[in-house]
């Protein structure tokens, strides 16, 4: 991710917000992108960081 900062929104972004973010090196993430980052990186971050957002794997049987 090539940005100086990130901003997460569950409601999307206006065209104006996207433009301002691009001009200022801000990476905009929607809820799906944020969820994917957490899923990908959670087990790779230090335990101290994991303790800030304590997650637990669950397994669901699909029929």
**Per-residue model confidence (pLDDT) at position 63:** 85
Q: For residue 3, what are the contacts with CB-CB under 8 A and spacing of at least 6?
A: 25, 26, 27
Instruction: Quote the tokens at residue 9.
Output: 């929104």
Q: What SS3 class is residue 28?
A: strand
Q: What SS3 class is residue 7?
A: strand
Show me where the domains of the chain are located: 5-50
**Per-residue model confidence (pLDDT) at position 57:** 86
**Per-residue model confidence (pLDDT) at position 24:** 92
Burial class of 55 by CB neighbour count within 10 A (0 to 12, 13 to 18, 19+) = exposed
Asked if residue 2 has pLDDT above 90, the reply is no
Report pLDDT digits (tens) over 15-54. Answer: 999 999 999 999 999 999 999 998 899 999 999 999 998 9
């Amino acid at each position: 991710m090539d940005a100086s900062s990130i901003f997460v929104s569950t409601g999307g972004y206006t065209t104006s917000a996207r433009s301002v973010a691009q001009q200022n090196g801000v990476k905009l993430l929607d809820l799906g992108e944020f969820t994917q980052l957490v899923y990908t990186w959670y087990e790779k971050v230090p335990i101290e960081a994991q303790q800030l957002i304590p997650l637990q794997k669950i397994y669901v049987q699909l029929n």
